[in-house]
Amino acid sequence: MKVLKIAFGLYAAIVFFITLLCVFPLYFIVFLFFSERKSPVIAHNISRFWALVLFRSFFIRYKIINEDFISDKGTYVFVANHRSMLDIPLYARACSNTFRFLSKAELTKIPLLGYVIRKLYVTVKRGDKKDRQKSIEAMRKTLELDISIFICPEGTRNFTNQLLLPFKDGAFRLAIATQTPLAVLTVINTDVLLSPESPLALRPGKLIAEWSKPIDTKGMTENDVDSLKQQTANLMKETLTRHLMSAQK
């Protein structure tokens, strides 16, 4: 059984890199020839297709719940929990709206993939105050272009047994400062199919992504950051607990 798991993990890694080599030229062409407004839209559609190919190649099924809560024409600050590298393609499949991730700058050093991240994501050096300010301005500009922002408020993958790590303020400050609706996505089972501690410990199965009703931030001020953060955490915890209890029945 262990040999089979290792073999499947290696197969998945090979599929990932082969498909990356296939889609990279498409990203390159998009970023080279299309405008700042148009390129994220096309690139997001490429990402959604790539995610679909990966899931089918990995024999992973997924279910998106409450898709109708998200308007196709809406602009949001999206937030989601983060436990596994499977989260990224699941986010893409869960959301047809064009968005840019907030990502740590270190990921731009990854060959090929780093180029895509640098062009498509808003990156930030966590320990650099000036760079954090630049990333905030980049996210504001992105929202002004009617392109949503996607942030994992835990700040990193959750390697613990806790449902969630403590949230950072950034996503909530951005949503309030720009008066943009906050859309909450909760993903379930990604860490079961792919352990956050091993990139090769992948197995087939089913993933779930559930949307909560977007939270209207109009009229909120800086004083509402903590309450908005707590409301979001409560929504995610309730969804996670409900699905965990259902799985145990």
For 62-85, what is the mean pLDDT? 95
For 140-151, what is the mean pLDDT? 91
Does the pLDDT of residue 111 top 90, yes or no? no
Cβ(52)–Cβ(23) under 8 Å? no
User: Which residue is it, tokens 């949307």?
Assistant: 211
d(CA 89, CA 78) in angstroms, rounded, equals 15
CA angle 105–169–180, rounded 5-degree value: 95
pLDDT at position 131:
62
- In this structure, which amino acid lies at residue 237? K
Contacts with 84 (C-beta within 8 Å, 6 or more apart), sequence order: 157, 190, 191, 193, 194, 195, 196
pLDDT at position 197:
72
For 94-117, what is the mean pLDDT? 81
Q: Which residue has the higher pLDDT, 40 or 3?
A: 40
Does the pLDDT of residue 139 top 90, yes or no? no
Number of domains in the chain: 1
Cβ(156)–Cβ(208) under 8 Å? no
pLDDT at position 30:
92
Contacts with 70 (C-beta within 8 Å, 6 or more apart), sequence order: 76, 95, 97, 183, 211, 214
pLDDT at position 127:
58
pLDDT at position 6:
80
CATH code of 51's domain: 3.40.1130
pLDDT at position 137:
83
User: With the CA atoms of 192, 194, 200 and 204 taken in that order, what torsion angle do they form, in degrees rounded to the nearest 10?
Assistant: 80
pLDDT at position 184:
98
Does the pLDDT of residue 124 top 80, yes or no? no
pLDDT at position 128:
58
Which residue segment(s) compose the domain that 144 sits in?
A: 2-248
- The overall average pLDDT reported for the chain is 89
d(CA 242, CA 90) in angstroms, rounded, equals 20
For 33-49, what is the mean pLDDT? 90
